[in-house]
Amino acid sequence: MKFYFNCLFIILVIFGFETKQQESTCDFTSLVKCFIEVLDEWTWTLYELSDIKKNMVGITNDQCQHLRKLEICMDDGNENPHSCTHKEVVEVSNTVSDLITHRKNAGSFLKSYYLLSFACSNEGQKLINENEECFRSEHISEMTISAGTYLSEKFLESDKEDDDICNDLNEKMDEYKEALRQACNKRAQYLMCKSLESMFKGLHADKLEGCDLNCGSIDELDEEQESEIHEVQNEAEMGQPNALLNVASYSQIGGSLSILPIIIVFVLSAIYLNFL
């Protein structure tokens, strides 16, 4: 594997970035070398997470260490600084991905990096450790990856210029969050939103500059859930006996959702992609 990546490095330096280096202050050689040194271990980590059910909600702190090594390349913290812009870093990652897969426009291997960045943060690791069983049972990893693919293709990967792209993306994100509103005490919608926010802004920073995806915070979601419970309790006190059952059910299940609304949302997403 190391030999393959070293050969790839030589090809990239000789052919891939020769003309670009004349037009930019970016040291493409240092950037590619940094990527190559990390990709071996990062690829193995992704292989360990190849079970899509574990892909995002099962990543451990030890596996996150490889992501943090890749982060050094992204943040230009290596001993040989590359001085590349964010856009240039993404462009280089696209070229590396094309050569690895032998396919043009293969995308960026940084997609997995950005998608897992929140899960590897201190907040993300705490969230996963406290809710991993629920996240797996509700298939949150699969849904997040599916939503990311659909929303990227619909709003971000086309050449179409859209001044309302932030609003349009937020509207769709709100639909997904609503479908997951009661899953895992609202933690599922938060994990999905924060993960997709990292991926979208990482790979499409130019299109989403200044865009807020309105993920909120855990405290805000807890307050919202508490308000919903009080509302149901008030309805019960006003003589609606069915509401008492709702309160008991809500508390006992801990916010577990019916899977039907989510199935509908993601089936519609799949149908849309088939007609693109």
Span 11-69, pLDDT tens digits? 455 445 554 555 678 998 889 888 888 888 888 888 888 775 667 888 999 999 989 99
Residue 78, in any domain of the structure: yes
Residues 85 and 129 in one domain: no
Q: What's the pLDDT score for residue 17?
A: 52
Span 216-225, pLDDT tens digits? 888 888 888 7
Residues 264 and 179 in one domain: yes
Residues 33 and 80 in one domain: yes
pLDDT band at 193 (very low <50, low <70, confident <90, very high): very high
Residues 264 and 138 in one domain: yes
Residues 205 and 268 in one domain: yes
C-alpha closest to that of 6 among 36, 32, 30, 28: 36
Cβ neighbours, 10 Å, residue 60: 16
Q: How far is CA 225 from CA 48, 88, 127, 129, in A?
A: 35, 42, 17, 21
168, 188 in Cβ contact below 8 A? no
Q: What's the pLDDT score for residue 47?
A: 87
Span 97-153, pLDDT tens digits? 888 877 787 778 899 999 999 999 999 999 999 999 999 999 999 999 999 999 988
Q: What's the pLDDT score for residue 56?
A: 85
Domain boundary among 114, 137, 166: 114
The answer to whether residue 257 scores a pLDDT higher than 70 is no
Full domain range(s) for residue 103: 2-114
Write down the pTM of the prediction. Answer: 0.76
Residue 119, in any domain of the structure: no
Residues 95 and 136 in one domain: no
Q: Count Cβ atoms within 10 A of the Cβ of residue 232 and give its class: 0-12 exposed, 13-18 middle, 19 or more buried.
A: buried
Residues 20 and 64 in one domain: yes
Q: What's the pLDDT score for residue 19?
A: 46
Residues 109 and 133 in one domain: no
Count of structural domains within the chain: 2
Half-sphere CA count of 131, side-chain side, radius 13 A: 26
The answer to whether residue 76 scores a pLDDT higher than 80 is yes
Residues 270 and 154 in one domain: yes
Residue 184, in any domain of the structure: yes
